[in-house]
Amino acid sequence: MIVDSRAVDRVLAPASAGELAEMMRSETGTIAPVGAGTELSLGNPLEPIDAAIDTRRLDRITEYVPADLTIHVESGVRLGQLAGALAEHGQMLPIDPWNGPEATIGGVVATNAQGPLRAVGTVRDWIIGMQVVDAGGRASKTGGRVVKNVSGYDLAKLYTGSLGSLAVISEISFKLRAAFAATASARLRPGGLAEAADVIREIRSGPLEPVSLVWAGPEDPFVAVRFGEHPRAVEWQLDRLPGEGWERFDAETESAVWDAVRDRYRALAEPVVRVAAPPSEARAVIERFRPESWLVHAANGTILMTAGVDAIARLRERHPTLVERAPREVRLQAGVFGLTGAEYDLMRRVKTAFDPEGRLNPGRHVDGERPA
């Protein structure tokens, strides 16, 4: 197995949480947890490891209570498998990471993976509990198995996005929502940055409530919007889109729009960064840096764009900027997270508390970079 350009000779594949804990207790070297392998380039360059933990055999839905709108799944369950089980009961977990239905739910959580369905929150917002195994093979739980759970520290939020550097996730509990009664999308090809920014501003400031709102450019630019709600509410919102020239797509045809959005994400020229800017400043960031390619989550201002090492440094002077996808040498030079001194000190203390020997995914997270 190859993990971030590192060859791994020993691959352990537990089939249960108990086996996972036993394997972790038996290991004395460094370990890299791996799911479907769709996000292995995220994070700082991996240091040499002794073994990989392949979680794909942890693939059971351990409990599903449709009446309670909760589900409990092992970390190797794939998104497509999960979506199929929920669809049978008219329910959904509203996340759609760029890496698609083949991604494991544990990998999605460990990387805090995101996609165009951002207006209804990220995966962190839908987690109610989690079970993990630390580097010494000790199993623990955080949160609960019901939505109304307020006991203890919410460590699930800490594990989410930690890249498996604090513990290996074995099971996750989610709250759910009813599937959209109807969906429809629309696409606009604006005449320039000003028109696109004005349309997006009107959508955000008015009564419309899109579940996805994306702006892509500079070649063949477009704004894509999706609504999910009662059929009459969807139609009402489509009729009130600002401006002219919108192409409409119903539930039977809208997949073409979002397939094109995913194609744009895959085609973003590396290095790709994720910039956290206020939505009102997205246009200014694009005009200031003139990226070769970009994709904006226009509902919340997150910008995915091409940026070299010098541009990354300038972006970080104004906005939190994470390196989403880049060659190893760029990640080494720029650092993936761009932590300040205080942020680095805090996260380093967390890493030391949870993994004092630095055995889990060494180098991938805070231990792989220095403060700015």
Please say if the pLDDT value at position 251 is more than 70.
yes
Domains 1-178+339-372 and 268-328 are alike in CATH topology: no
Please say if the pLDDT value at position 150 is more than 60.
no
User: pLDDT tens digit string along 20-43?
Assistant: 999 999 999 999 999 999 998 899
Compute the average pLDDT of residues 168-179.
97
Its CATH architecture, for the domain 268-328, is: 2-Layer Sandwich (3.30)
State how far the alpha carbon of 176 is from the alpha carbons of 2, 162, 275, 314, in Å: 35, 23, 29, 40
Positive/negative CA dihedral, 107, 110, 113, 118? positive
Its CATH architecture, for the domain 180-265, is: 2-Layer Sandwich (3.30)
Cβ proximity of 165 and 351 under 8 Å: yes
Please say if the pLDDT value at position 147 is more than 80.
no
Beta bridge partners, 275, equal 303, 321
Mean pLDDT of the chain: 95
- With a CB cutoff of 8 Å and minimum separation 6, the contacts of 206 are 240, 242
Please say if the pLDDT value at position 151 is more than 70.
no
Rounded to whole angstroms, how far apart are CA atoms 344 and 366? 7
Phi, psi (deg, nearest 5) at residue 12: -100, 135
User: pLDDT tens digit string along 181-194?
Assistant: 999 999 999 999 99
Compute the average pLDDT of residues 325-337.
95
Beta bridge partners, 216, equal 222, 295
Nearest to 184, CA basis, from 147, 239, 119: 239
Rounded to whole angstroms, how far apart are CA atoms 281 and 39? 28
What pLDDT shows up at residue 148?
64
Which has more pLDDT, 147 or 186? 186
Q: What percent of the chain is predicted at pLDDT more than 70? A: 98
Q: How buried is 191 (Cβ within 10 angstroms: 0-12 exposed, 13-18 middle, 19+ buried)?
A: exposed
pLDDT-derived band at 370 (thresholds 50, 70, 90) equals confident
- Helices 282-289 and 193-205: angle between axes, nearest 10 degrees: 160
Element (H, E) at 6: strand 6-7
Largest Cα–Cα distance in the chain? 64
Compute the average pLDDT of residues 226-255.
97
Element (H, E) at 348: helix 341-354
pLDDT-derived band at 146 (thresholds 50, 70, 90) equals confident
How would you label 2-19 residue by residue, b for 16+ Cβ within 10 Å and e otherwise?
A: ebbebebeeebbbeebee
Three-state DSSP at 343 gives: helix
What pLDDT shows up at residue 144?
83
**Domain locations in the chain?**
1-178+339-372, 180-265, 268-328
Cβ atoms < 10 Å from Cβ of 298 = 29
Please say if the pLDDT value at position 141 is more than 80.
yes
Please say if the pLDDT value at position 295 is more than 80.
yes
Strands 302-306 and 294-297: antiparallel
What pLDDT shows up at residue 152?
65
Cβ proximity of 322 and 348 under 8 Å: no
Rounded to whole angstroms, how far apart are CA atoms 161 and 43? 10
Overall fold of domain 1-178+339-372: 3.30.465
For the chain, the straight-line distance linking the first and the last C-alpha, in angstroms and rounded, comes to 33
Rounded to whole angstroms, how far apart are CA atoms 139 and 28? 17
Describe the strand order of the beta sheet including 272-276 as a list of residue ranges. 247-249, 182-188, 222-229, 212-217, 294-297, 302-306, 272-276, 321-325
User: pLDDT tens digit string along 93-137?
Assistant: 999 999 889 999 999 999 999 899 876 788 999 999 999 999 999
User: pLDDT tens digit string along 301-329?
Assistant: 999 999 999 999 999 999 999 999 999 99
Cβ proximity of 369 and 336 under 8 Å: yes
Three-state DSSP at 303 gives: strand
Phi, psi (deg, nearest 5) at residue 268: -55, 130
pLDDT-derived band at 158 (thresholds 50, 70, 90) equals very high
Cβ proximity of 277 and 320 under 8 Å: no
Cβ atoms < 10 Å from Cβ of 120 = 18
Nearest to 318, CA basis, from 335, 296, 338, 298: 338
- With a CB cutoff of 8 Å and minimum separation 6, the contacts of 252 are none
User: pLDDT tens digit string along 42-70?
Assistant: 999 999 999 999 999 999 999 999 999 99
What pLDDT shows up at residue 195?
97
Positive/negative CA dihedral, 269, 273, 277, 279? positive
